[in-house]
Amino acid sequence: SIVEFFDENDGYKCGYCKSKTSAFSQGMWAHCMNTEDYQALIDRGWRRSGSYCYKPTMHKTCCPQYTIRCDANAFKISKSKKKVAKRMRQFLLNGDKWKLHCDKNNNGETSMSVDEQPDSEHWAPATKFQPTNLLKEPTSSQFTCATQELPKEPNIGKCLYTVYIIYTATFMQCTTLFILTVVGADPSKPPCKKAKQIRLERRKNKLLQQGQHNILPTGKNPKVKCKQQQQAKSLNEFLPHLDSPVDAKHGLEVRLVRSSPPSVEFESSKVESHNLYTKYQTTIHKDKREDCNMKQWMRFLVDSPLNPGTEGPAHGYGSYHNQYWLDGKLVAVGVVDILPSCVSSVYLYYDPDYGFLSFGSYSAISEISFVQRLSITHPNIKYYYLGFYIQSCPKMRYKGAYHPSYLLCPESYEWVPVEKCEAALKEKPYARLNVLNDAVDNDGIVTSLNTVRCLYKHTIILYGKYKMHRNREGNRTAENEDPRVREYAQLVGRSCAERMLLYRS
């Protein structure tokens, strides 16, 4: 690995709180990098954007960014994520008919929970209650009809209750109080069954039809025996692109193509992928079209310093594009790095016309499933890194919903469950996360700079000898480099500083 370290002390505009000079980070340019070194760097809070690696100055920046990862093999899919997978399956099964049904009922927005926000950093739920609805005065005929439906001689002992409806018109200018007396169920009709009882009877009838008389649910908790008979679904069974319905009207295919160095499959879809990126950035993030040119896309999401090497899974370590093809059309791309211990998510862009399919959430559970499959042949690959978690930024808190997830402590570099960090982060944006022990960052303690490896005049040399060469050349400023090199060694860790090559001019 060959890196060039930059000493950055000036504040810049924050992309989260939009403050102009309150964001701080340290950075270095990676001319090339082994995947083992990058794995060690992201475990110390570093991330990459193209070939540029950066680490937020946690105690100084306005929105501290904590590295977050999910234990893929222990991942438990939540109800909201099941809905995302079901939504995709229903669309593949029923096609445009299902989409039109959603558009008609939800104005293009399907029911989404807050933790499904990764589809767009600017996502906001559609307003169900428009101000115009509040300005319509209720007519007296509406309430007359309501009272006419009540029995003439109500039985006072049968669930008699009063409903108070306070209606505010023209926003606090006039308030009217309506009092309605409502009587319970009609005693001449059979009592209504509870939904729980209806489900139990339906389950019994189904088991009887299957001839399974010996496992009929009984007792106070009828669900227990039924659940014991059922095997929990694997994550793969929820994903329709892995378990494709036979009679589906649409087909979804996910292709993993190497982006650096580019594979034949990547080159053939390069233009289409860039066009999709431009459409996403200009529609979702309101970027200017000229800022989304091919060169910018390549520098941001294609160029990578990672050296794939010869070891690893069948396709090797390194940088990839996870392409989602719907009926032969590219609709989403997830940029990922496959590393010795994890799959790291870099970025996602998708076709805004298919935003109703929640590709943000769907791609995340799809990539977690990918980690699970990789871990079968490579047990060391067992984590899914979701980038940065920011407690003070609501649109970045959704990442904590992928259980079990862990945050990286910025002082000891230990992993702490998200649930144990929330209280401390709610009090203040920056906090030491592993408060229950006295762990220290041993790898960040640098006693001597002589073991730091450097690249000087095409020669690999230790930092101590580098200074000797500079002094012989008559350059007395070499001594002034010590504070900068020490800061570099502390940020990347002593073990990385002794492996990577620090470029010296």
10-residue mean pLDDT series, the chain (505 residues) = 88 89 94 96 97 95 96 94 93 76 50 35 33 41 43 47 47 49 65 83 83 61 52 84 81 95 96 98 95 96 89 86 97 97 97 95 96 95 96 88 95 95 91 85 92 94 91 74 94 96 93
Classified as helix, coil or strand, 41 is helix
> How far is it, in rounded angstroms, from Cα 80 to Cα 116?
8
Predicted pLDDT of residue 226: 53
Predicted pLDDT of residue 106: 52
Predicted pLDDT of residue 264: 96
Model confidence, pTM: 0.76
Classified as helix, coil or strand, 415 is strand
Domain locations along the chain: 2-64+441-504, 70-94+238-427, 131-182
Predicted pLDDT of residue 143: 41
CATH of 70-94+238-427, one of 3.40.50.720, 3.40.630.30, 3.40.50.620, 3.40.50.300: 3.40.630.30
Cα-Cα-Cα-Cα dihedral of 100, 104, 106, 109, to 10°? 30
Determine contact, residues 331/324, Cβ cutoff 8 Å: yes
Query: Among 44, 71, 40, 12, which Cα is nearest to 375's?
Result: 71
Predicted pLDDT of residue 42: 98
Determine contact, residues 314/255, Cβ cutoff 8 Å: no
Predicted pLDDT of residue 43: 97
Predicted pLDDT of residue 105: 53
> Position of tokens 């929330």?
422
> How far is it, in rounded angstroms, from Cα 368 to Cα 362?
10
Predicted pLDDT of residue 171: 44
Residues pairing with 6 in the sheet: 27
